[in-house]
Chains A and B, each alone.
Chain A
Amino acid sequence: MNTTKFALITIVVGAAVMAFAHWYSIDYLFFASYTILQFIVLATAWNILGGYCGYVNFGSAAFFAMGAYSSVFMHKFYPLPIPALFIVSAIVSGIAGFGMGYLTLRLRGSFFAIATLALAVVLQTLVVNWEYVGGSRGAYIIRPESIEFAGITINYIEYLFGLMLLLTIIALVTARAIERSQLGFGFATIRDDELAAEACGVPTLRVKLIATTISGAFMGMAGAPFPYYIGYLQPSSAFGLEYAVNSIAMPMIGGTTSWVGPLIGAILLGSAQQYATVSISSEVNLLIVGLMLVAFVIIAPNGLIGLVQGWRRAWRKP
């Protein structure tokens, strides 16, 4: 199946989801699904660097927050419609991803992971001390009740949900296209063996920088509408541990070698968390992530995809 066909299918599925949600029209449903979609984008973005190239990024929250704070900044500086904010956030976080890649490209394994964690801490400190975007007090963004769109009035949360759905489609199509392209092969050589990759003519530095840039840009885009969604943004929520942990845990649980993994992981883990938040307590969230991660590391170290592939292989040659 080529990329265009796949894109069309995801658009149809997306439109169906949108129509279904619109038909039910429960605000909470939009609210909860938005979070899951946001995590699909974050997990997919993380996987482009972490899964395809094998570089574990602990700083997802930093990129997400960069996207969110770009929106806060623009809101005060020169208000733009949200689709334009996606582009602003993509540029800001993409550049940050490029920079992070450039500064840390000599580091491998745990050293790279620690450097990305440090980036998150440094950025959070900067934001806390930056009065213009609210500093440690945070920033309020009062979102309108609804939005006029081609003569139709749409509930604002539904509007945000629709945009996030669109971003999810773009992220999934991009991830899948990369997987099947020359770039995807290049990413895989970096995960497997960088020295051998260079010997085969792969410009590893350039390929890695492409990965950090794309990954960073998508994480930023995932954060762009967040201030409008939440209404009040403070550093501790934008840089929350849950973003860093979830964007690692979701691809790990789903499987890191394909675009399907982060999608499944995010839906599974995201729904479980939403359910726990409502039925038990919002603090149970991270406990669930932790328990599931431990369970999967033991039962299915290659995620659900790896598990299914293993079964298939065993079934084919008995």
Chain B
Amino acid sequence: MSALLHVDNVTKRFGGFIALDGIDLEVQPRERLGLIGPNGSGKSTLVNCICGTLQNESGSVSFDGQTVDGLAAHERTHRGIARSFQLPRPFHSMSLADNLRIPLLYTVRTREGMLHAHSDLNARCHELLEMVGLANKAQQFPRDLTQVEMRKLELARAMAAEPKLLIADESMAGLSHSEIDDILALLVRLNERGITVILIEHIMRAVMSFSHRLAVLVSGKKIADGKPEDVVRDPEVVRAYLGQ
């Protein structure tokens, strides 16, 4: 089976600071990968390099059998990589339904090369809001939402682009126990529909219950990659998290 995402020796520098140092990572189709690491270890930078928000200096990223190096972020979204942001970034001046309309108009439509009827679009927006349990707030604005609802909107918007790979960047930070379960259940449901998920998270309970595989970044290097139970017992990982 060929990998859906293939990150090959990716390096990213900010001036003299090496944020990512020769990262290799493979993600198989339908896999649930957990990506962990202390603050500043390069997790978000790696996400940005995969999504095209940042361009890596060396190494290459290929997706679905094709290289995506040099492609702008929106082109990678068109190819099927979707992400949610660490801090939710909704379109503040638009209703929830219109927030979801954007990826439908700009990604799904271009991909399929056909024009959806107006009612089709509305129905799809509603369906997506239903999926995350926000259907009754379709005409409200992001400012009316709670933290957990905002995260759900963020995920729904990523899902609206009908991606093959979803990268959830700390979509549970700051949420309560039951809210985390809510989001986890949502991610599992998406995965069961055939979407590959990379979960970036600090909350170990969530990561451990969700991931098939765990990769650990420390100071821009990948120090472990394997079964979650094995990885958390890895002495190097323990040292990085707990100190010596």
Contact = CB atoms under 8 A, between A and B. Distances in A.
Interface of A: 182, 185-186, 188-189, 191-193, 195-205, 257
Given A201-B74, A201-B110, A192 B93 contact: yes
Contacts of B103: 200-201
B74 A189 contact: no
Contact of B77 (A188, A192, A198): A198
Contacts of A182: 105-106, 109
A201 B160 CA distance: 11
B94 A196 contact: no
Interface in B73-128: 73-75, 77-78, 82-83, 85, 89-94, 98, 101-103, 105-107, 109-110
A200 B102 contact: yes
Nearest to A197: B102
B9 to A, nearest CB: 25
Contacts of B91: 188-189, 192-193, 196-197
Contacts of B109: 182
> Which DSSP category, helix, strand, loop or mixed, fits chain A's interface?
helix
A197 B52 CA distance: 13
Nearest to A181: B105
Contacts of A191: 93
Interface of B: 51-53, 72-75, 77-78, 82-83, 85, 89-94, 98, 101-103, 105-107, 109-110, 157-158, 160-161
Q: Give the one of B74, B98, B110 with max A CB within 10 A.
A: B74
Contacts of A203: 72, 74-75, 106
A263 B109 CA distance: 33
A308 B59 CA distance: 55
A204 B53 CA distance: 12
A201 B101 contact: no
Contacts, number: 81
Nearest to A191: B93
A198 B94 contact: no
6 contacts: A182-B109, A188-B91, A192-B90, A192-B93, A201-B77, A202-B106
A199 B105 CA distance: 13
B38 to A, nearest CB: 24
B101 to A, nearest CB: 6
A198 B85 contact: no
B98 A185 contact: yes
Contacts of B83: 199
A295 B85 CA distance: 38
A203 B105 CA distance: 12
Contact of A188 (B78, B93, B161): B93
Contacts of B107: 200-201
Contacts of A185: 94, 98, 101-102, 105
Q: Which 4 pairs, one residue from A and one from B, show the smallest C-beta to C-beta distance? A: A201-B107, A198-B73, A192-B91, A201-B77
B102 A198 contact: no
Contacts of B90: 192-193, 196
A18 B201 CA distance: 65
B22 to A, nearest CB: 26
Given A201-B110, A202-B106, A203-B74, 5 more contacts: A193-B92, A199-B74, A199-B158, A200-B157, A201-B103
B161 A192 contact: no
Contacts of A200: 74, 77, 102-103, 106-107, 157, 160-161
B85 to A, nearest CB: 7
A201 B93 contact: no
A204 B106 CA distance: 11
Contacts of A189: 91, 102
Contacts of B157: 196, 200
Contact of A201 (B53, B92, B98, B161): B161
Q: Among the interface residues A186, A196, A197, which one has the most CB atoms of the partner chain B within 10 A?
A: A196
A177 to B, nearest CB: 15
A145 B157 CA distance: 61
Nearest to B94: A188
